[in-house]
Amino acid sequence: MDRIPSVDLRDFLSGDESRKQKFINEIGHAYENIGFVALKGHFLDNELVENLYEQIKKFFELPVDTKQKYEIPGIGGQRGYVSFGKESAKGKKEGDLKEFWHFGQYVENNPKLEEEYPDNVIVEELPEFNEVGKQTYKMLEKTAKYVLRSLALHLGLEETYFDQYIFNGNSILRPIHYPPIKEEPKGAVRAAAHGDINLITLLMGAHGKGLQVQNHEGEWIDAIAEPDELMINVGDMLSRHSNNKLKSTIHRVVNPPKELWGTSRYSIPFFMHPISDMKLDVLDNCIDTENPKQFEDITAGEFLNERLRELGLIK
């Protein structure tokens, strides 16, 4: 594949069985071959998107010492602010050229998970910041639920198979700011080549060049969504659970040409995670003589901790 396919969630939600099956076929084929789709018909409206960008730009423009008071020690950056250059891709020494914020789950009726997840961090200087973040989180989580329902059907599972695992799941909304580049980066890029940890990632803000995806031939192709589209890719958890039938594709955010070094870039991924005790064991119906079981049994929580250690976010 040399481009990212586009699909429309309204086909899946239409109530028309042939349109629904068309969506399942299209997204299934894309995720088996490139691991990315551009999705129209999601649950974000323009006003919410504009409000979110306005709020995150205001946050990242705050003085450094103001932002740093929202950097919470001891939680591996799971909530609040993570400062510039802190995160690096697996196997990379150089920190990525970015700073970011984390909104986490708003737990409903589950004291055990309220205890397990860190609290969301409230930004006192921006009264609308947290509410807009919460609304966006909920709409992306709703979109992700239906994408996973389509994938459950594609994998021969019951349609709502994933619902029990993603309700109150450990998902993260991450507004990212890539600041202007002031000097020649020494081996660092805005986000080095990596695969995502989670089930699926929904990305807002991939409208300009920068995001690139590696296809099966090893070629890097630009992943550019239309303004009304989200870019959605398979993460390592789902790839593992499906015995690599659905592909978690390596991707990166490259530095812009030198004439654009003076510009900021913003992007906002939503990392859809299940609850920690979901078993990621390879599904029986993804194993056959041609595709023997490729991965050891592990829970989502164990896998996440393993990867956060590799990224240097927890010790």
Average model confidence (pLDDT) across the chain: 89
Determine the 3-state secondary structure of 79 from DSSP: coil
Asked if residue 31 belongs to a domain, the reply is no
Asked if residue 12 belongs to a domain, the reply is no
pTM given for the model = 0.90
The whole-number pLDDT of residue 188 equals 58
Query: pLDDT at residue 178 above 90?
Result: no
Overall size of the chain counted in residues? 315
Asked if residue 17 belongs to a domain, the reply is no
What is the DSSP secondary structure assignment for residue 255, as one 8-state letter? P
Q: Which one, of 44, 67, 280, lies nearest residue 179 by Cα?
A: 67
Determine the 3-state secondary structure of 153 from DSSP: helix
Asked if residue 214 belongs to a domain, the reply is yes
What six digits make up the tokens of 171? 């998902």
Amino acid identity at 233:
N
Asked if residue 21 belongs to a domain, the reply is no
> Other CB atoms closer than 10 Å to residue 257's CB: what's the count?
8
Q: Which residues of 154-193 are buried (b: 16+ CB within 10 A; e: fewer)?
A: bbebeeebbeebbebbbbbbbbbbbeebeeeeeebbbbbb
Q: Compute CA 223 distance to the chain's CA centroid, rounded to the nearest angstrom.
A: 14
Q: How many domains does the chain have?
A: 1
Asked if residue 13 belongs to a domain, the reply is no
- Cα–Cα distance, 26 to 99 (Å, whole number): 35
What is the DSSP secondary structure assignment for residue 231, as one 8-state letter? E
- Cα–Cα distance, 116 to 126 (Å, whole number): 27
Tell me the per-residue pLDDT of 56-100, one tens digit each, with 9 for 90 and over. 999 999 999 999 999 998 888 889 999 876 555 455 455 567 899
Asked if residue 196 belongs to a domain, the reply is yes
CATH code for the domain in which residue 288 is found: 2.60.120.330
Query: pLDDT at residue 278 above 80?
Result: yes
Asked if residue 10 belongs to a domain, the reply is no
The whole-number pLDDT of residue 79 equals 95
Which one has a higher pLDDT value, 238 or 94? 238
pLDDT confidence bin for 307, thresholds 50/70/90: confident
What is the residue range of 173's domain? 42-310
